[in-house]
Amino acid sequence: MNLSSTLVESNSLQGLGVLSLSLPAEVRRSTSDFVAETLRNAIVSGQLESGTLLRQDALAEQFHVSKIPLREALKRLEAEGLVSFIRNKGAVVASLSTHEIREYVEIRAMLEARAAELSAPLISDDSLQQARLALEAFGVERNPANWAQINWQLHSALYADARRPVLLAEIRSLYDKVERYVRALLAVTSELPKTQGEHHAIIDAFAARDAERAATLTRAHVLDGGASLVKYLSEHRA
């Protein structure tokens, strides 16, 4: 995918206004936040594929920003594992090895199991209803581009009552790192019914306020999905 054509043709990025190098730091941070969020969404959704060169001149022109907030945005995405800087080439969309994906999934499984353990005894009826609505939406949605957000709505609704915002933010960061690969898996395999069955069981455990079962099922759900993903990528890349 050609980065220039992807971004230059996007109407959503037009009309931002030219930003001066002399803007206050807080304005630059706000601008870099917007640039980072836009690029992050394009990477996580698969619109910008692994290995895509992120040409800073073209991006600065497209976003109508100076290079300072743009570099800040790219460095933030590098810290999140979504962008890599390569000597004599510049910034590119990061490509994860199957080993890296496996490790991210293992960490996510531990964190999500802990979030489930903390949240299940405290979960409100409203949070359960939000999770069930997301489960229903996930079951009828046929556009792979929407699966990631619905899946996150389901899981975040279940974990919200743990009242651990830092933990939830770390889990979301791990989601973003591998979501583009998960979407590719679900789009070409029969994993979706299995995923939905696991979601049903997890929600039932939360509804019973059973912390141990919720944590066990959540951990198994994440690890099983990760194993399927690693297997698919190993075969696909080979």
The string of pLDDT tens digits covering residues 57-72 is: 999 999 988 889 999 9
Considering only residues 33 and 20, tell me which one the structure prediction assigns the higher pLDDT: 33
Answer yes or no: do 222 and 132 share one domain: yes
Answer yes or no: do 66 and 135 share one domain: no
Residue 237 banded pLDDT, cuts 50, 70, 90: low
DSSP-H helix ranges across the chain: 3-8, 25-44, 56-63, 67-79, 98-119, 125-140, 144-159, 165-188, 191-207, 211-237
Percent of residues, the chain, with pLDDT higher than 70: 84
Return the pLDDT at 11: 36
Q: Domain of 184?
A: 98-237
Among residues 62, 93, 124, which one ends one of the domains? 93
pTM score over 0.95: no
Among residues 93, 109, 130, which one ends one of the domains? 93
Whether 24 shows a pLDDT value over 70: the answer reads no
Answer yes or no: do 212 and 148 share one domain: yes
d(CA 151, CA 147): 6
Strands 83-86 and 90-93: antiparallel
Answer yes or no: do 87 and 114 share one domain: no
